[in-house]
Structure 1
Amino acid sequence: MLRLALADLWHERVLFLCSALGCAAVLAPLIVLFGLRQGVVAGLRAELLEDPRAREIVSVVNRTLEPALFERLAADPRIAFVVPRTRALSATIVLENPERQGNGIRVELLPTAQDDPVLPGLSVLDQDELVLSATALQRLGLSVGDRVMASVARSRGREREVLTLPMRVGGVAPLAAAARDAAFATVPVLLLAEDFLDGTAPADARPASEAEARRRPFAGFRLHAARLEDVPALDREFRLAGIEVASRAEAVAGLLRLDRNLALLFVAIAGAGGAGYLVSLGVGLWAQVERKRRDLALLSLLGLKRRALLAMPLIQAAAVALAGAALAFGIAAAVATVLNRAFAGTVTGDRPVCLLNAFMAAGAAGVTLAGALVASLLAGLRAAAVAPAEGLAEG
């Protein structure tokens, strides 16, 4: 039956070609639209994911946050990383190159911990180590592994006291993590600087252990969501709880809305265009069955079973669908090449604006094939219902 169905298509190859072209005319724009959605949204999502600050949420108002809150945040599956921070006014420190005494610079002191997303590849940071921004490292004339003197000064009456900590450069922060002069340190170092400025720590004090430091209240936090989709929800929950935060929630929410809107647009266009083509394909196959009723009746009279007659329109519809899908993907690939060259570097950086791959080709062929088989089912049932006597009657 397969050979007979394909031979019939070859006999009427002009009609077959027209049907395949009709399928490609409907399917090619849908593939291009889907490729545009994948390229644009994937490009924007990749840009956000490459930015270590995209999933970051930082509290902006000093509060008294108990250790229990940080335990709950660390246990939340939506949060991949959380580190407490001290008051902003106490989170500054003066760094000095021991070989260039008298040329110290004031930098922002930022908390960090193991697996910090803004410091990829950073191992466990010791308490006597700092990760400096590229600008601070350059101004100090230091390299990774060099010694650096960190100091915090306070005034008590007429006396000026200085807390001095011998530190070492443990790494360089990426430009996206700190564009200005900054130093990342462990939480005990930040707490020591805060306690010294508050007058509760002497000038010869040294950082406490990490476990001891985490048992104290903190003024704020810095956390990173596990997924981009979690950023808007976490931002909203913190604000409802009365904790003011800064995040990229609006940008992330805009990207998610764009993704949903493009998906809705694709479904609407695909549904309208695909339904129209499948109806026309089914009607065309029905018309062919009606036109070939005498031939089908003779085949039935010669012993061809009803299920074979049923399969004939289905096989022909599958051949039309596969040929149309292959032609449509070829056309879409050519259009995608033109679009990617025309919009190179303007929408999604160096990424393609229209993204097509083999999985899309297989998916398009599969969906088209399934739709064609459904559309041809009524024609197949009509072919199977042709009585053998009709061939004799019309003979």
Structure 2
Amino acid sequence: MSASKQSSTFSAPPLKVLLSLGLSDLLHDRKVSICIMASIVAVVAPLLLLFGLKFGIVSQMRAELLSDPRNLEIRMLASAKLEPTWFEKMRNLEGVGFVMPLTRSLNTIADLFVDSRRFAENVELIPTAINDPVLDGISIPQGRNDVVLSSSAASRLAVKPGERIQLRVTRLHESRTERAQIEVRVLAILPPESFSRPAVFLTLPLLIEVEDFRDGFYVPGSGVETGSALQPRTHFARARIYADKIENVEALANRLLKEGIETSSRLAEIKSVQSIDKVLGIVFGVIAWIAVLGCAASLIGAFMANIDRKRKDLALLRLMGYGRLAMQGYVVMQSAVLTVTGFTVGCLMYLLGSQLFNQMLGEYMKADRFVCRLEPIHFVMALAGALMLALVVAGVGGVVVTKIEPAESLRDL
């Protein structure tokens, strides 16, 4: 017999035969397979539920923080002399989302008037521009006479977008009471949750005109022909300052404090959410590591016992011509199949558990809120972690398998 024929006679069967034998072996020893999968399910399902609760609660609290732009605001407590260069520097700082000059507090109040029955006194005047977080998704006033009303101001006036109202400002000039009246157009109305107080969002030039009028200057278009000549504006008293995200609120407030500007913010609420996130993260991490180590130990024990029980069968596969690398692949394949199956069952149990949590605990929360939630990326990461653990365990078992000699299958013959 030629050498080529001998090589063909003693070559190992195809790998697909080995894979088929591995799957058949799992089905034949279904009791052992179920026990191994149960150990995986016992770790995967509780960890997914625990992380789902952590992610659901924290992400909901973060969403509530982000949905309220006041949480991004750093309010100045006192007036200062802020030059235009200061505002330009602030806009270029990392972590700053929006900066807008403000006039003195006394000059940010005006009356709104439609007729004798529809009016609002002492309404707050707030300058706005593009990227204003309060007006997110709302048309931004561009023209001098365009304004956006808060919901409470609009309800007092009973007006709708597109209607025109009168903005009235009063001053005492040379012992005479003078009243400026400017007609403005309601561009849009804010939803109630965006801003609760009666307010008018207007362009900065219009707010400056209000302050100039109150300071006794002549303002064209105000309807009042008296007043001294306007002086070039060199500074502003205050500023509207917003961070670009809640993580930067503290750093921005500390920077302003270093400049001698006292501020207030909702840093306490932000730190509360961050603390909850940190605590839950530590709790989840400790439980996860303990569960993973326990699962790894259980799987290693189960695989070792299974390998020891099937030494003769594995030795027979070696005798059939399968090398060490093929036998390692055999163990890895079985481990991967058991892991994916157990992970799938664990995901199904998580879905049932999360629905139960959301229904039972959701009764104590507002509508459309959730307490247990995971994103698709979380399942992908969890599966990747489970497979990595399975590969490590299979690697330990594979080392044992490679030490089985083919002759072991002949000892009992």
- Once residues 175 and 384 of structure 2 are traced to their aligned partners in structure 1, the CA distance between those partners, rounded to angstroms, is 82
Q: 2:166 aligns with which of 149, 152, 163?
A: 149
Query: In the alignment, which residue of structure 1 is the partner of 2:193?
Result: 176
- Once residues 274 and 159 of structure 1 are traced to their aligned partners in structure 2, the CA distance between those partners, rounded to angstroms, is 81
Counterpart secondary structure, 1:53 = helix
Q: What is the correspondence of 1:135-214 to structure 2 with a 5 Å cutoff?
A: 135-199=152-216, 201-202=217-218, 204=220
* Pair 349,234 (structure 1): closer, same or farther in 2 beyond 3 Å: farther
Following superposition, the deviation at residue 143 of structure 1 comes to 2.9
Q: 2:55 aligns with which of 38, 52, 57?
A: 38
User: Does the Cα contact within 8 Å between 2:98 and 2:242 map onto a contact in 1?
Assistant: yes
- Once residues 195 and 32 of structure 2 are traced to their aligned partners in structure 1, the CA distance between those partners, rounded to angstroms, is 65
Gaps of 5+ in 1: none
Query: In the alignment, which residue of structure 2 is the partner of 1:315?
Result: 333
- Once residues 315 and 212 of structure 2 are traced to their aligned partners in structure 1, the CA distance between those partners, rounded to angstroms, is 97
Query: In the alignment, which residue of structure 1 is the partner of 2:29?
Result: 12
- Once residues 92 and 254 of structure 1 are traced to their aligned partners in structure 2, the CA distance between those partners, rounded to angstroms, is 34
Q: 1:108 aligns with which of 93, 116, 124?
A: 124
* 1:88-131 superposed Cα distances (whole Å, 9 cap, x missing partner): 1221112222x439956331211111232212321343112222
Alignment size in residue pairs: 389
* Pair 214,360 (structure 1): closer, same or farther in 2 beyond 3 Å: farther
- Once residues 305 and 365 of structure 1 are traced to their aligned partners in structure 2, the CA distance between those partners, rounded to angstroms, is 29
Q: 1:246 aligns with which of 241, 250, 264?
A: 264
Greater Cα shift, 145-154 or 367-376: 145-154
- Once residues 139 and 327 of structure 1 are traced to their aligned partners in structure 2, the CA distance between those partners, rounded to angstroms, is 58
Query: In the alignment, which residue of structure 2 is the partner of 1:96?
Result: 113
Counterpart secondary structure, 1:218 = coil
Following superposition, the deviation at residue 14 of structure 1 comes to 0.5
Query: In the alignment, which residue of structure 2 is the partner of 1:65?
Result: 82
2:96 is the counterpart of 1:79: yes
Query: In the alignment, which residue of structure 1 is the partner of 2:226?
Result: none
Query: In the alignment, which residue of structure 2 is the partner of 1:295?
Result: 313
* 1:303-323 superposed Cα distances (whole Å, 9 cap, x missing partner): 121212222222221122112
User: Does the Cα contact within 8 Å between 2:257 and 2:263 map onto a contact in 1?
Assistant: yes
- Once residues 357 and 17 of structure 1 are traced to their aligned partners in structure 2, the CA distance between those partners, rounded to angstroms, is 28
User: Does the Cα contact within 8 Å between 1:119 and 1:174 map onto a contact in 2?
Assistant: no
* 1:263-283 superposed Cα distances (whole Å, 9 cap, x missing partner): 222221111111111122112
Query: In the alignment, which residue of structure 2 is the partner of 1:353?
Result: 371
Query: In the alignment, which residue of structure 1 is the partner of 2:15?
Result: none
* 1:8-58 superposed Cα distances (whole Å, 9 cap, x missing partner): 111111011011111101211100011111211111111122223222222
- State the AA in 2 paired with 1:149: Q
- State the AA in 1 paired with 2:392: V
Following superposition, the deviation at residue 336 of structure 1 comes to 0.7
The TM-score, its normalising length taken from structure 2, stands at 0.87
- Once residues 30 and 101 of structure 1 are traced to their aligned partners in structure 2, the CA distance between those partners, rounded to angstroms, is 62
* 1:114-169 superposed Cα distances (whole Å, 9 cap, x missing partner): 23221232134311222222232232343322232222222235322223323222
Counterpart secondary structure, 1:155 = strand
Following superposition, the deviation at residue 70 of structure 1 comes to 0.6
2:156 is the counterpart of 1:117: no
- Once residues 366 and 254 of structure 2 are traced to their aligned partners in structure 1, the CA distance between those partners, rounded to angstroms, is 28
User: Does the Cα contact within 8 Å between 1:53 and 1:176 map onto a contact in 2?
Assistant: no
Following superposition, the deviation at residue 204 of structure 1 comes to 4.6
Query: In the alignment, which residue of structure 1 is the partner of 2:287?
Result: 269
User: Does the Cα contact within 8 Å between 2:39 and 2:298 map onto a contact in 1?
Assistant: no
User: Does the Cα contact within 8 Å between 2:147 and 2:201 map onto a contact in 1?
Assistant: yes
User: Does the Cα contact within 8 Å between 2:147 and 2:185 map onto a contact in 1?
Assistant: yes
Question: What is the aligned-residue RMSD (CA, Å)?
Answer: 2.4
Counterpart secondary structure, 1:34 = helix
- Once residues 325 and 67 of structure 2 are traced to their aligned partners in structure 1, the CA distance between those partners, rounded to angstroms, is 57
Greater Cα shift, 119-128 or 88-97: 119-128
Identical-pair percentage: 33
Counterpart secondary structure, 1:303 = coil
Query: In the alignment, which residue of structure 2 is the partner of 1:392?
Result: 410
User: Does the Cα contact within 8 Å between 1:66 and 1:217 map onto a contact in 2?
Assistant: yes
Counterpart secondary structure, 1:73 = helix
* Pair 215,371 (structure 1): closer, same or farther in 2 beyond 3 Å: farther
Counterpart secondary structure, 2:170 = strand
Following superposition, the deviation at residue 4 of structure 1 comes to 1.3
* 1:199-252 superposed Cα distances (whole Å, 9 cap, x missing partner): 2x1265669xxxx99963111111222222222221232233321223222212
* Pair 7,103 (structure 1): closer, same or farther in 2 beyond 3 Å: closer
- State the AA in 2 paired with 1:3: S
Gaps of 5+ in 2: 1-17, 224-229
Following superposition, the deviation at residue 357 of structure 1 comes to 4.6
The TM-score, its normalising length taken from structure 1, stands at 0.91
User: Does the Cα contact within 8 Å between 1:130 and 1:183 map onto a contact in 2?
Assistant: yes
Greater Cα shift, 6-15 or 122-131: 122-131
- Once residues 193 and 358 of structure 1 are traced to their aligned partners in structure 2, the CA distance between those partners, rounded to angstroms, is 53
- Once residues 231 and 158 of structure 2 are traced to their aligned partners in structure 1, the CA distance between those partners, rounded to angstroms, is 32
- Once residues 275 and 377 of structure 1 are traced to their aligned partners in structure 2, the CA distance between those partners, rounded to angstroms, is 16
- Once residues 353 and 222 of structure 1 are traced to their aligned partners in structure 2, the CA distance between those partners, rounded to angstroms, is 35
